[in-house]
Chains A and B, each alone.
Chain A
Amino acid sequence: MIPERLVAFVHGPVVSFVGTRDARLRPSVSWVFGARVSAATDEITVFVPDIEAEPIKRNAEQNGLIALTVVESISHESYQFKGKLVGLRPSSDEERAVQDIHRSKVISHLTKFPKALFEGFRLYPSTALTFSVEHVFVQTPGPGAGKLLDLSAF
Chain B
Amino acid sequence: MAVEHDPEPSVRDQMVENQKVIDRLNAALARKTDEVRIIQQISSEINSTLDLDGILAISLHAMDSVLGFKHSMILLADKDEGLLRVAASRGYDGHKMDAAIPVGQGVFGVAARRRHVVRMGNIGALRTYIGGVGARMQAAGHVELGRVSAMPGLPDAQSQMGIPLVVKDRLVGVLAVESAAPGAFDELDEMLLSTVGNQVATGIDNARLHLSAIEASRELDTANAALSRANETLEDSVRARTAELSAALDEVRREKGLSETLLRRMAPPEVIPLMLQDKLFAQRLDVTILFTDLEGFTAYSAGMEPDETFSQLNEFFSWAGDVIGRYRGYINKTLGDGVMALFGVPFDSATHRTDAVLAALEMQREISAQFPFGMRVGISTGTVTAGMLGPANKSLYDVLGDAVNLASRIQALCPTRGVAVSPSCEEALKPWFRLTPLEAHEIKGVGHMTCSQVVGLRAIAEDARRIDPTSRFAADYLPVIEEVETFKRERLGVVDFISLQARDVALQHNEAVASYAVALLRALRAGGADAQQWHGIDEATLMAAALLHDAGKHALDPARLNDRGLDSAGRDRLRRELLDGTLQTLQQIGEDGLAPIIQELYRFEATRGAEGEFKPEVEILAAADIYDALTAPKIYKGSPWRIVGALAELMRLPYCQRRQRPVFSSFVELMKPAGASIALRARPGAVIR
B-binding residues in A (CB < 8 A): 75-76, 140-144
The closest CB in chain B to the CB of A74 belongs to B128
Interface check B142, CB cutoff 8 A: yes
Which A residues are CB-close (under 8 A) to B136? Answer: 140-143
Interface check B129, CB cutoff 8 A: yes
Interface check B392, CB cutoff 8 A: no
Assess the A141–B140 pair: CB atoms within 8 A.
Answer: no
Which B residues are CB-close (under 8 A) to A141? Answer: 129, 132-133, 136
Within 8 Å by CB of B140, from A75, A76, A144, lies A144
A-binding residues in B (CB < 8 A): 128-129, 132-133, 136-137, 140, 142
Main secondary structure of the interface of A (DSSP, over half): loop
Can you sample 8 A-B contacts with CB below 8 Å?
A: A75-B132, A76-B128, A141-B129, A141-B133, A142-B137, A143-B137, A143-B142, A144-B140
Which A residues are CB-close (under 8 A) to B128? Answer: 76
The CA-CA distance from A76 to B137 in the complex, in Å, is 14
CB proximity of A49 to chain B, nearest CB, Å: 17
| Seed contacts A141-B133, A142-B133; 17 additional CB < 8 Å A-B pairs | A75-B132, A76-B128, A76-B129, A76-B132, A140-B136, A141-B129, A141-B132, A141-B136, A142-B132, A142-B136, A142-B137, A142-B140, A143-B136, A143-B137, A143-B140, A143-B142, A144-B140
The CA-CA distance from A59 to B136 in the complex, in Å, is 36
The CA-CA distance from A140 to B137 in the complex, in Å, is 11
Which B residues are CB-close (under 8 A) to A140? Answer: 136
CB proximity of A54 to chain B, nearest CB, Å: 12
Which B residues are CB-close (under 8 A) to A144? Answer: 140
CB proximity of B220 to chain A, nearest CB, Å: 63
The CA-CA distance from A141 to B128 in the complex, in Å, is 11
CB proximity of B2 to chain A, nearest CB, Å: 16
CB proximity of A80 to chain B, nearest CB, Å: 17
The CA-CA distance from A16 to B136 in the complex, in Å, is 22
Which B residues are CB-close (under 8 A) to A142? Answer: 132-133, 136-137, 140
CB proximity of A26 to chain B, nearest CB, Å: 16
Which B residues are CB-close (under 8 A) to A76? Answer: 128-129, 132
The closest CB in chain A to the CB of B133 belongs to A142
The CA-CA distance from A75 to B128 in the complex, in Å, is 8
Interface centre among A75, A141, A143, by most B CB within 10 Å? A143
CB proximity of B426 to chain A, nearest CB, Å: 96
The CA-CA distance from A141 to B132 in the complex, in Å, is 8
The closest CB in chain B to the CB of A140 belongs to B136
CB proximity of B656 to chain A, nearest CB, Å: 98
The CA-CA distance from A141 to B126 in the complex, in Å, is 12
The CA-CA distance from A140 to B135 in the complex, in Å, is 12
The CA-CA distance from A140 to B136 in the complex, in Å, is 9
CB proximity of A126 to chain B, nearest CB, Å: 21
For the complex of A and B, the 3 pairs showing the least CB-CB separation, nearest first, are: A142-B136, A142-B133, A143-B140
CB proximity of B556 to chain A, nearest CB, Å: 78
Which A residues are CB-close (under 8 A) to B137? Answer: 142-143
The CA-CA distance from A142 to B136 in the complex, in Å, is 6
